[in-house]
Structure 1
Amino acid sequence: MQKEALFGKTLDELQRICVELALPKFTAKQIADWLYKKKVSSIDEMSNLSKKARELLNEKYLFGLTDPTKVQESVDGTKKYLFPTAHGKYVETAMIPDKDRKTVCVSSQVGCKMGCLFCMTGKQGFQGQLTAGEIVNQIRNIPEWEEVTNIVYMGMGEPFDNLDEVLKSTQILTSEWGFAMSPRRITVSSIGIVPGLVRFLNESECHLAISLHTPFHEERQKLMPVEIAYPLDDVLSEIRNWDFGRQRRVSFEYIVFHGLNDTPAHVREMARILDGIKCRINLIRFHPIPNTPLKGTDETRLQEFKEGLEKKGITTTIRASRGQDIYAACGLLSTKALGAN
């Protein structure tokens, strides 16, 4: 019988395990401390558990950490880790240092079924869901894990297409019994699956990022097939109905493509559709991937686009390009690894 991983279990799940094994209820909190707060990697190292408790746990469970199989480091300090999954595939995790910040970009799926034209991960197709443990493992099992200040769910996969495990992972990251991170240090990005969006807004306190990329319906449909099922108008309607308060943030991700979505008409339409939503726009440079006709806009036009949005009163930033020398775009490194098998 294949043993189940303890890592990735919530406190409630650990309490149920303790009940099943006839262990005291307080043992669950002790196990959580070992899983999420201490530098151990085996059940035998849980020294404040009785010998009997450790034996019972070892019979049915593994600790559950998985080491990366490969790491590449960029000249700018960005690192990309390649983690194996239970499916015999790979997912990517990026660690991005910036002064006193260390941001980890985690994956939520193996491949992706959304088929966005600009995304290398989508070209892999969907290959499986990650468990909460596999998601959190991408943070806990890199050398920098104790220095991580921010987490973004912007790696491989669509988080709202694996929402149960994503929400469980954010619970582990933010709970007092877990990593005890502030939810304001975590951003979950989605292309806008409306049922998942509604549930995420109700069940999580983490920041929200929506992949927008163009304000026009037909244009967005060509870039992102999800626009057919969940039009941007419906996504924005749900966001307008939500009170984000003073601390929680909503942002829109916008990859800028040459001659496609970088015109004054796009600026005007963005200002129109986002009117009344307190948000920011993150402009992203596009770096070419294989088998796509898309090209990134030039720097002059990128700056003009930013200035145009700011003149409309929209807070706009240009995200710095990081790690281009190490296959930093999502899906490139794992696609290469899959091809080597």
Structure 2
Amino acid sequence: METPKTVLLGKTLNEIQHITQNLGMPKFAAKQIVSWLYEKKVVSIDEMTNLSLKHREMLKGSYEIGASAPVEAMRSVDGTVKYLFRTPTGNFVEAVYIPDEDRATLCVSSQVGCKMNCKFCMTGKQGFTANLTANQILNQIYSIPERDTLTNLVFMGMGEPFDNLDEVLKVLEILTSDYGYHWSPKRITVSSVGLKKGLERFLNESDCHLAISMHTPFPSQRKELMPAERAFSITEIVDILRNYDFSKQRRLSFEYIVFKDVNDSLVYAKEIVKLLRGIDCRINLIRFHAIPNVNLEGTDMETMVAFRDYLTQHGVFATIRASRGEDIFAACGMLSTAKQQKEKGVTL
């Protein structure tokens, strides 16, 4: 049986330097390889034409690019595209391309499934299967047709990024480094329920924007919606963030899915104002997309507008995120779950 080759996509410059050194290639070869990977975005080692034929053949003996195209794409009437990728172990993850006037955002996944089991999230209903590698995360960007038009990236797809932080940080390095994509950290937002060790490490090791999933300011209710609250409370998260110096280079936001008759009254808005007092941040209000077997509903736009206006009038800048792709399994995890269950002969 042929030994699987090691993938190059998702390797940092330091890792590529180790590879070239072990193969006896000249020192400058590592920078040539990362240039082919992250600037020219080649799909085969044969395309790396400034490497000698001998070195290309040497590299091909044990390595490959490791890019794989999506297996399915669902296109919305509003231009949103949901891409489905198959992992080498036969699981599925999603990436969502969202065009909006002069912005083109890609939402990427960091895990197959998720351990957090938030009540309102389809991905959590899958349970946790595996962490994605840096290769599998970066491939979601590398292998879509719109890759060169992207203006923003959000880690808000399947999985909890702070639960796979080593691989996420490696991808962030590649995206923001001079040898990689040359992206400004201000183009990237990482979203988390707020795992303590991951949060502190992310704040110290990355300059990218941060989004925390709040969904209610009351810890007792947040435990019901988000079991992770039991390990690390929203009040503890806010205390850490209050003591962190957020410069103009980094934006802090809180994600707040608005559920009908659950967290949409002004009582909640007033508590958010109290909780976030003194922190430079924003609230993103999100309309809920229904998922099977969950007794939660989205609230009406009039209520969301009143909620937004109260927050903004009381010093917490708030926005209402436009709903996109509602006709193509809009909720995160829906498409991958449907595909997985179809292959097993199960109906969603």
> Which category of TM-score, normalised to the shorter sequence, fits these structures?
over 0.9
- Unaligned regions of 5+ residues in structure 2, if any? 344-348
Pair 1:121-2:114 in alignment: no
Q: 1:104 is aligned with what amino acid?
A: L
Counterpart for residue 317 of structure 1? 319
Residue by residue, what CA displacement relative to the aligned partner does 1:198-231 show, whole Å, maximum 9, x if unpaired?
0000000100000000000100000000000011
Counterpart for residue 21 of structure 2? 19
Give the Å deviation of 1:312.
Answer: 1.1
Give the Å deviation of 1:31.
Answer: 0.3
- Distance (whole Å) between structure 1 residues aligned to residue 330 and residue 58 of structure 2: 43
2:179 to 173, 177, 180: 177
Counterpart for residue 301 of structure 1? 303
Query: For 1:325, what is the secondary structure of its paired residue?
Result: coil
2:232 to 230, 233, 238: 230
Give the Å deviation of 1:86.
Answer: 2.1
Checking the alignment, whether the CA contact within 8 Å between 2:289 and 2:330 is kept in structure 1 is no
Residue by residue, what CA displacement relative to the aligned partner does 1:222-249 show, whole Å, maximum 9, x if unpaired?
0000000011111111111111111210
Checking the alignment, whether the CA contact within 8 Å between 2:41 and 2:142 is kept in structure 1 is no
Counterpart for residue 158 of structure 2? 156
Give the Å deviation of 1:39.
Answer: 4.0
Give the Å deviation of 1:171.
Answer: 0.5
Pair 1:220-2:186 in alignment: no
- Distance (whole Å) between structure 2 residues aligned to residue 328 and residue 61 of structure 1: 37
- Distance (whole Å) between structure 2 residues aligned to residue 182 and residue 191 of structure 1: 24
Counterpart for residue 103 of structure 1? 105
Q: 1:100 is aligned with what amino acid?
A: D
- Distance (whole Å) between structure 1 residues aligned to residue 194 and residue 73 of structure 2: 31
Pair 1:37-2:47 in alignment: no
Counterpart for residue 280 of structure 1? 282
Q: 2:51 is aligned with what amino acid?
A: L
- Distance (whole Å) between structure 1 residues aligned to residue 294 and residue 328 of structure 2: 20
Q: 1:89 is aligned with what amino acid?
A: N
Stretch moving more, 279-288 or 261-270: 261-270
Counterpart for residue 78 of structure 1? 80
Query: For 1:81, what is the secondary structure of its paired residue?
Result: strand
Residue by residue, what CA displacement relative to the aligned partner does 1:227-285 show, whole Å, maximum 9, x if unpaired?
00011111111111111111210000000001111112111110011001100000000
- Distance (whole Å) between structure 2 residues aligned to residue 10 and residue 194 of structure 1: 26
Checking the alignment, whether the CA contact within 8 Å between 1:87 and 1:128 is kept in structure 2 is no
After TM superposition, the structure 1 = structure 2 runs for residues 230-249 of structure 1, keeping only pairs within 5 Å, are 230-249=232-251
Query: For 1:324, what is the secondary structure of its paired residue?
Result: coil
TM-score by length of 1: 0.99
Query: For 1:160, what is the secondary structure of its paired residue?
Result: helix
- Unaligned regions of 5+ residues in structure 1, if any? none
Counterpart for residue 56 of structure 2? 54
- Distance (whole Å) between structure 1 residues aligned to residue 189 and residue 302 of structure 2: 29
2:210 to 208, 211, 217: 208
Q: Across the two proteins, how many residue pairs are aligned to each other?
A: 341
- Distance (whole Å) between structure 2 residues aligned to residue 260 and residue 5 of structure 1: 47
Q: 1:21 is aligned with what amino acid?
A: L
Query: For 1:25, what is the secondary structure of its paired residue?
Result: coil
**Percent of residue pairs identical:** 58
Stretch moving more, 157-166 or 80-89: 80-89
Checking the alignment, whether the CA contact within 8 Å between 1:36 and 1:179 is kept in structure 2 is yes
Q: 1:188 is aligned with what amino acid?
A: V
- Distance (whole Å) between structure 1 residues aligned to residue 26 and residue 328 of structure 2: 48
